[in-house]
Structure 1
Amino acid sequence: MKIKEIKAYRMLQPFVDGPYKMSKGRHADAFDSIIVALTSDDGVTGWGEMAPLGTFYSAAFAAGAEAGVKEIAPHLLGLDPRALTQFNRRMDIVFKGHPYIKSAIDMAAWDLTARAADVPLVTMLGGSDGDMAELYKVVTHGTPDSMAAHATRIMAEGYKRIQVKVGGDVHGDIERLAAVAGVVPKGTVIFCDANAGWTPFQARQFADASRAIDYVFEQPCVTIDDNMSVRRSLDKPMVLDESVETLEALLEIHRRGAADGVTLKIARLGGVSKTRQLRDLAVDLGLLVTVEDTGGAEIDTAAMAHLSLSTPVERRLHAIAFHEWVTVRTASNMPPVVGSQMGVPKGPGLAIDVVPDLIGKPFLQLKA
């Protein structure tokens, strides 16, 4: 099997609920998605997707991904997509760094490989542990009253897990958390995500003032050193997200005991291949794991679902359904969401049926 054709698309995916707001005025109105299709010489097509959350969340932007895919794609024609290690090595040889650019391409190679083998992607990633993964929803940054109202709506939908955005003015965020905690039922799982917005001093202020509230602290500061300094005086669990960019970072987090769990973003790591590698290592090291991404619709959500459900249930934290965030569709079916849980569609590969007419004209089309 060899790659005969490569197509790539760029698609704006507006948010259903309006701007996605984080602290310090950071916000985005849509995912700016890059979608890649790899077709083999026997007519099988695999799909991949990546979408940065604006330009402020990760070291990634859609225009850079578009330009990078154009540079990398010609070097992949004629390769066997099933030889995933060699496939990724070729990308790294011809284009140094910039893992987010390679993410959708690698995802498409996994989808193509699994479809050709006529097995679900979750089987190739280690096998499914259960049928559904628990979902969480995000309470975006706003006034205490608006965040409390948002949390109330999420609870009314049947969700039991929320992520509360903090990381701005400390005293204001203390009020925001208290307002949200005051309206959700007892036992609701709350994550407080500062998105690396604080200094250690500010993070300690917040943690000290909110000791009476049960929550998981997520990425309060930028560096592993700073987060570790907060963790030494913290009486709550901690999860790191933005700090997990490489295998070396994951090993340092474990060696120093800097977190109880990690969030792995497919695009930040460079695709399904590297995400699976770090996921399996994190599980073996005893860390809790969330597998998600920086953004996307059905294609990317399907990849997150397959990676989540192939994570051992005792190490799996939760997942997120990005395709429910956006107003557009990319496929005729999608990862099934039942209440506050998500599964994988039935079928080979990612098991979704992408509809080319829904994603527009390709900005790149190459044939061997």
Structure 2
Amino acid sequence: MNIVKVDVFQARLPLIEPFIISYVRLDDMPTIFTRIELDNGIVGWGEAVPDQNVTGETWHSTYDVIVHELAPLLIGKSPFQIDAIHQQWDAQILGSPSAKAALDIALYDAMGKCANLPLYELLGGRAHDTLMVPRVISIKTPQEMAEDAKRYVAEGYKHIKIKVGTDAKADIARICQVRDAIGEDAYLRVDANQGWSRTEALQVIEATQHCAVEWYEQPVKAHDYRTMRHIRESVSSAIMIDEGVQSMHDLTEVIREEAADMLNIKLMKAGGIYRALGLASLAESANMPCQVGSMVESAIATMAGAHLSMSRTIIETNEMVGPLMFTQDVAGVPFDGEQLLLTKAPGLGIEVDETYVSSITVQRACIE
């Protein structure tokens, strides 16, 4: 069961509408798919969705790192050599977490198929009864965001996340109008994506205390742990860290500084499932609840995050929202309303449409 070939696809996925957060607007989603093939014919799929403002990688650099630095190291290896493979990748190149995630996910998909088990069974078994997925609303006018939120709640969604972080006054209006639109029974999460200063963060949080926000995510710059701690000490609301944690070292510092109540784990920041498991374990030792977030990923990375979410008790929430945001995806994801369903199909549990992958690919490489 050794790897004999790695295919890499640089592609662009079409979005239903532009995705706008505090630091970027995306009219489509640049992504990279990986496909590993074993000598027994089993295939594993992975994905990278780099973010140059978060992971320090671009779409082009990630493709080049996978093709020229990481994928060649897999030829002849078993997908089950996951620890040794990560050690070799880290010795080959510093960082590049989404590039590593693309191949890591493919390795885990192949492992599940080799074992004829759904991936969550390999990661720890079923730790939750269901996976509830929110609807995410990108930055618009307060009225437009409120209208979107009201529509989603009418469709049956009870968990709404809104993107903010452009202007404190406008953000207060966004939060308040969305809460008014969704009523008291729906849950509301707020993500500033590093968009506020300390003063702005305190101003917004204090002005929206009556809005029953579940948590405020990454209010200030990624590694400004001191300011995160000050905000956390100054408000009664929960503070989640996201961009500020990529590695075990980062999380160790966050725990030491008492800078956050919660952790958002993303496979693209962590370097894949293997490293994400380490973050979840460290967070558990500090009694820090986690969620698995998304970089707006296709069905491939979405299902990887879903299996990870299902397998660990400390991972209490997830935001596997990518497939809800594309006009067409590379595979079907089994949603039932706001529930993401995991079947007993092996690996990631999806059938990738290779014809569609090829149709949206702008550059492809094969490593044998």
With the shorter chain as reference, the TM-score category is: over 0.9
The Cα shift of 1:58 comes to 4.2
The Cα shift of 1:33 comes to 1.1
The 5-angstrom pairing of residues 35-74 of structure 1 reads 35-52=33-50, 55-71=52-68, 72-74=70-72
- Aligned-partner Cα distance in 1 for 2:318–2:78: 34
The farther-off stretch of 183-192 and 268-277 is 183-192
Selected match of 1:92 from 90, 93, 113: 90
Q: How many residues are treated as equivalent by the alignment? A: 361
> Once superposed, what is the RMSD of the aligned Cα atoms?
1.6
For residue 260 of structure 2, what is the aligned residue in structure 1? 259
Structure 1 pair 232–322 and aligned structure 2 pair: CA distance change class (3 A)? same
Structure 1 pair 191–178 and aligned structure 2 pair: CA distance change class (3 A)? same
For residue 250 of structure 1, what is the aligned residue in structure 2? 251
The 5-angstrom pairing of residues 100-179 of structure 1 reads 100-179=98-177
- Aligned-partner Cα distance in 1 for 2:191–2:293: 15
The Cα shift of 1:184 comes to 0.8
Equivalent residue letter for 2:248: L
User: SS in structure 1 opposite 2:182?
Assistant: coil
Contact kept, 8 Å, 1:50 with 1:295, in 2: the verdict is no
- Post-superposition CA distance 1:169-210 (Å, at most 9, x none): 111111111111111121322111110111111111112222
The Cα shift of 1:315 comes to 4.7
For residue 14 of structure 1, what is the aligned residue in structure 2? 14
- Aligned-partner Cα distance in 1 for 2:216–2:319: 17
Equivalent residue letter for 1:245: Q
What is the TM-score normalised by the length of structure 2? 0.94
In structure 1, list runs of 5 or more residues that go unmatched: none
The 5-angstrom pairing of residues 342-361 of structure 1 reads 342-360=340-358
Structure 1 pair 271–204 and aligned structure 2 pair: CA distance change class (3 A)? same
Structure 1 pair 291–326 and aligned structure 2 pair: CA distance change class (3 A)? same
For residue 326 of structure 2, what is the aligned residue in structure 1? 326
Equivalent residue letter for 1:210: T
What is the TM-score normalised by the length of structure 1? 0.94
Contact kept, 8 Å, 1:102 with 1:270, in 2: the verdict is yes
Contact kept, 8 Å, 2:241 with 2:263, in 1: the verdict is yes
Would you identify which runs of 4 or more consecutive aligned residues in structure 1 move more than 6 Å? none
The farther-off stretch of 315-324 and 27-36 is 315-324
User: SS in structure 2 opposite 1:132?
Assistant: coil
The answer to whether residue 22 in structure 2 is matched with residue 23 in structure 1 is yes
Q: Identity, % of aligned pairs?
A: 29
- Post-superposition CA distance 1:263-313 (Å, at most 9, x none): 10101111111011112222232111111331321111110110111121x
Equivalent residue letter for 1:243: G
For residue 288 of structure 1, what is the aligned residue in structure 2? 289
Structure 1 pair 130–212 and aligned structure 2 pair: CA distance change class (3 A)? closer
- Aligned-partner Cα distance in 1 for 2:55–2:83: 25
